[in-house]
Amino acid sequence: MTSSIPALKPATLRRRPELDALAARAVEHHRAAPCAVVAAAFLRDGQWHVGEGAHGAQMPGGATADTDTVFDLASVTKPFTAVTLARVLRHGLISRETQLGVLVREAQGTPSGHIPIELLLAHRAGLEGHRPLYAPLEHGREVDRYAALVECATARRPDCTGDPGPEGFAPLYSDLGYLLLGTAMARASGVVLDALVEREVIAPLGLTAGSARQWRARCAHFHERVAPTEVVPWRGGLVHAVVHDENAFALGGQGVCGHAGMFGTARDVAVFGAALLDVLSGRGKDWLEPADLQPLIRVRPGGTLRAGFDGKSEVGSSAGTRCSMAAFGHLGFTGTSLWIDPEQSVAVCMLSNRVHPTRNNDAIKAARPDVHDGLFAWAREQPVAPR
């Protein structure tokens, strides 16, 4: 493992007023969230450059969001999980064909016991999307982790019977599958998942992203830097500096589950996207080879879902209209997003806390394509790194 990748030491760009305006568009025009931070990474003359912008109130007390504001990444955790798996596979600890039950004893004897981890990665294991595994917490009881994992592995959809084919069952986005996948990865490696992600992805790329536990350990001001999410009475009120996703909270606590639990800055997410573009172009060989990443982003039958990423739909994509059909990315429930376009060598992200104070706000659906369009357009207009 290398300590850093030279091609991913981006020129330091100061906060850009035109990107502040894009973040403000999400907050003020669309009313999508109390605050938003945006970033775009683009390649010029073999060097990555990153532009950032921010707008809005970060904290309930009215502190202003800035480019160092930390957000709950929600399901943007999944790309980090998938790329961590690519590194684990590269080490030869497991293979894509390894069956879940070999790694997770709770899956043995369930419909998922013989499912290869490749199909969990690609949302094609036949599992339901979600179950409220956290429900005992609402009534003051502890969650039985063993029973919860058994429930995940048993949650086969009624239309998915028998053994899956090579491409698996019909795709259905499943947090349950990624929860199982994260558990399998941790057990295969012998370290907890947030430490595994840090070892294989965060440290090599020089990022600051991590679990709430890791942020607390290294940042005395984490509570002040992280944007609040939802007000949830059964969780004691405002969910702040702990993961918003209820199942990740119940089963991962201050750590990371395969489907959620990462916290990071917009710069973290944009540089992560740039790293994947470096891999695809052959510049990141010390970390991953193109062949390691291709299984995660290849087009698969039955829909746009890939393996840790989504592809761009032909109509109405959240990615917007300014990126190519080769773009891939992911969204997060808290109001986060990442889109990566290999044809333009651009990665863009928008992080927000659209669930504050309540998740009953879907203005993010209009804000995302609008802001992503602005970010892709801005990146294309930069002939050299702006100063």
Q: Is the dihedral of CA 190, 191, 194, 198 positive or negative?
A: negative
CA distance linking residue 31 with residue 383, whole number of Å: 32
Give the pair of three-digit tokens for residue 172: 């259905």
Give the three-class secondary structure for 160.
Answer: coil
Classify each residue of 253-277 as buried b or exposed e, where b means 16 or more C-beta atoms within 10 Å of its C-beta.
ebbbbbbbbbbbbbbbbbbbbbbbb
Residue 96 burial by Cβ neighbours in a 10 Å radius (0-12, 13-18, 19+): middle
Q: Are strands 71-72 and 35-44 parallel, antiparallel or unpaired?
A: unpaired
Is there a contact between 347 and 274 (Cβ–Cβ < 8 Å)?
Answer: yes
CA distance linking residue 375 with residue 382, whole number of Å: 11
What is the reported pLDDT for 384?
Answer: 61
Give the three-class secondary structure for 139.
Answer: coil
What is the reported pLDDT for 176?
Answer: 98
CA distance linking residue 262 with residue 264, whole number of Å: 7
Give the pair of three-digit tokens for residue 345: 């060598």
Give the type of residue at 154: T
Is there a contact between 38 and 349 (Cβ–Cβ < 8 Å)?
Answer: yes
Residue 337 burial by Cβ neighbours in a 10 Å radius (0-12, 13-18, 19+): buried
CA distance linking residue 252 with residue 81, whole number of Å: 14
What is the reported pLDDT for 12?
Answer: 54
CB atoms near residue 347 (< 10 Å):
31
Give the type of residue at 38: V
Residue with tokens 């706000």: 361
What is the reported pLDDT for 4?
Answer: 44
Is there a contact between 323 and 341 (Cβ–Cβ < 8 Å)?
Answer: yes
Give me the DSSP letters along 260-304: S--EE-HHHHHHHHHHHHHHHTTTTTTT--HHHHHHHHS--TTSS
Residue 329 burial by Cβ neighbours in a 10 Å radius (0-12, 13-18, 19+): buried
User: How confident is the prediction along the chain (387 residues), in pLDDT tens digits per residue?
Assistant: 333 455 566 665 678 999 999 999 999 999 999 999 999 999 988 889 999 999 999 777 778 999 999 999 999 999 999 999 999 999 999 999 999 999 999 999 999 999 999 999 999 999 999 999 999 999 999 999 999 999 999 999 999 999 999 999 999 999 999 999 999 999 999 999 999 999 999 999 999 999 999 999 999 999 999 999 999 999 999 999 999 999 999 999 999 999 999 999 999 999 999 999 999 999 878 899 999 999 999 999 999 999 999 999 999 999 999 999 999 999 999 999 999 999 999 999 999 999 999 999 999 999 999 999 999 999 999 876 444
Is there a contact between 123 and 129 (Cβ–Cβ < 8 Å)?
Answer: no
Is there a contact between 353 and 266 (Cβ–Cβ < 8 Å)?
Answer: no
Give the pair of three-digit tokens for residue 68: 């160092």
Smallest CA-to-CA distance from 284 within 298, 270, 274 is with 274
Is there a contact between 210 and 262 (Cβ–Cβ < 8 Å)?
Answer: yes
Domains identified in the chain and CATH numbers = 6-82+194-380 (3.40.710.10), 93-191 (1.20.58)
Largest CA distance in the chain: 60
CA distance linking residue 338 with residue 273, whole number of Å: 8
Instruction: Give the predicted TM-score (pTM) of the model.
Output: 0.96
Give the three-class secondary structure for 127.
Answer: strand
CA distance linking residue 291 with residue 288, whole number of Å: 8
Smallest CA-to-CA distance from 182 within 83, 108, 110, 278 is with 83
Is there a contact between 226 and 207 (Cβ–Cβ < 8 Å)?
Answer: no
